[in-house]
Amino acid sequence: MTKVRTLVLRAPGTNCDGETSFAFQQAGAIVSTVHINRLISGEARLTDYQILVIPGGFTYGDDISAGRVLANELRLKLGEALQNFINRGGLLLGICNGFQVLVKAGILPGNQTSLTLTTNDSGKFECRWVYLKVNKNSPCIFTRGINRMYLPVANGEGKVVLSSELAEPNITLRYTDKEGNHNPGYPDNPSGSVGDIAGISDATGRIFALMPHPERYIRGTQHPRWTREGAKKYGDGFRIFQNAVNWVKEL
């Protein structure tokens, strides 16, 4: 059986690496938490891993704009290594700040559409739980077999804006209301994202980024109402990590 090796990237300001590492470990992966300086120096190598994750946080204080500094480091100092990782079939996941990084590094959405993330319409940091719908037409490996999810968000710059229409298969997750209806408005779409976009993937389905935090709901007891409604064995976010690990195992 394939040993699934996952690299969870750290940089100054990363704060969700522990939860993300734990989620992948629970899904059966061998996880290494690696500071970006170790990759830049060559002490650690992407060639040793099948999954690369950029977790949430506020890398480099979100100076200039959220994720911009880390995105520049990836693009300018690790661009060739990262492209080789993608070309050989690696999985790449960006969560919250990781979403911002992948977009600003030019890795997503992976076509001619200009997309970025900017300040929430509310003008404030949004920390709440949201309902999500998975696009069945998306090729995303991470969301296979998932229909709906309930996950927490925590961001100040989570609004997706576009210069032109994004291809429908690239839109993997949308915010909905409790009943699963689209165009729910605030606070169900907490940032005001265009088209209620909460997550996107590339055409291969191997690169996926989302603003909500699946690593914060992998156990039933992490649900905010579990004492009233009962706890499921696994939280809604756990399937994302399972899907990634299982896909690698099947190679």
Name the active-site residue from 73, 96, 126, 223.
96
The number of folded domains in the chain is: 1
213 is catalytic: yes
Q: What is the pLDDT of residue 113?
A: 66
Q: What is the pLDDT of residue 170?
A: 94
CATH of the domain at 158: 3.40.50.880
The answer to whether the bond into 187 is cis (omega within 30° of 0) is yes
Secondary structure of residue 8 in the 3-state scheme = strand
Q: What is the pLDDT of residue 111?
A: 64
What are the φ and ψ backbone dihedral angles of 72, each rounded to 5 degrees? -65, -40
Q: What is the pLDDT of residue 114?
A: 85
What are the φ and ψ backbone dihedral angles of 65, each rounded to 5 degrees? -165, 165
List the chain pLDDT tens, one digit each, 251 residues. 579 999 999 999 999 999 999 999 999 999 999 999 999 999 999 999 999 999 999 999 998 999 999 999 999 999 999 999 999 999 999 999 999 999 999 999 876 568 999 999 999 999 999 999 999 999 999 999 999 999 999 999 999 999 888 899 999 999 999 999 999 999 999 999 999 999 999 999 999 999 999 999 999 999 999 999 999 999 999 999 999 999 999 98
* Beta-carbon contacts of residue 190 (< 8 Å; ≥ 6 apart): 120, 122, 126, 128, 130, 153, 158, 175
Whole-angstrom Cα distance, residue 74 to residue 81? 9
Range of the domain at 100: 5-249
* Beta-carbon contacts of residue 99 (< 8 Å; ≥ 6 apart): 67, 108, 117, 199, 209, 210, 211
Name the active-site residue from 16, 140, 215, 223.
215
The candidate with the shortest Cα–Cα distance to 138, out of 184, 84, 202, 89, is 202
| Residue that is written with structure tokens 């060739």 in the block | 80
96 is catalytic: yes
pTM value is: 0.96
Q: What is the pLDDT of residue 251?
A: 85
